[in-house]
Amino acid sequence: MTPRDPMNVTTYTRTAVALHWLVAGFILAGLFMGWTMTDMAISPARLKMYNYHKWVGVTVLTLALLRLIWRLTHRPPPLVTMPRWQQLAAHGGHALLYLLMLVVPLTGWIYSNATGYRVVYLGKLPLPNLVAKDKALADFWHGAHELLATVLAITIALHVLAALQHHFLHKDNTLRRMFQWRR
């Protein structure tokens, strides 16, 4: 019985755990910056904050793609025993999180380009413009970015609540195994 035996997997790979917490950190930073920077007065600090926010978004997008590839090639441990509706909710929630991890940064990227701003990763690496400058397009993608980011924040909140419920109410291994890893 090897640790790779798919029928006997109870923990995540080290890479999966590391990517989970890295992405979690960057998403929270991105959300926090996104909410504060829009209320800032015009200043170099605000401009910098917008740039950092974009870099965080590109980082999330890249890490999310890596996570998706890793997830598709490394079987995660099965869910702990729970009712069917909870299984569906868990799988649906995880699918939604993966989708939003990719879509929220992408809508931000498109929104930035539509306002005439190229995204230059870390101020060094110019990324391709996905759309040309267009006021109406910018307004649409701005709305889409904010709405989807809000959906992401709510989904994360539910994800955290579910994890805490498993840990404190059901007293199962769900949360604990996100702090353990196999090689």
Partner 1 sequence: MRNRLTWFAVAVAAGGLALAADLNITPAAGSKVTATIKQEGVEVESPFTKFTGRIAYDPAKVAASTALLEVDMASFDFGDAAYNDEVRKKSWFDSATYPKAKFQSTSITPAAAGGFQATGQLTVKGKVQTITVPVKVSASAAGTVFDGTFNISRKAFGIGDPVWEGTVDDKVVVKFHLVGGK
Interface residues toward partner 1, by CB under 8 A: 42-44, 47-48, 51, 115-120, 123-124, 133, 135, 138
In the bound state with partner 1, the residue whose beta carbon lies nearer, of 12 and 141, is 141
The least CB distance from residue 166 to partner 1, in Å, is 43
CA dihedral angle for residue 62, residue 67, residue 70, residue 72, rounded to 10 degrees:
-110
Phi–psi pair at 125, nearest 5 degrees = -105, 100
In the bound state with partner 1, the residue whose beta carbon lies nearer, of 127 and 144, is 127
| 3-state SS class at 182 | strand
- What's the chain's Rg over C-alpha atoms? 19
The least CB distance from residue 44 to partner 1, in Å, is 4
The least CB distance from residue 52 to partner 1, in Å, is 10
| 3-state SS class at 58 | helix
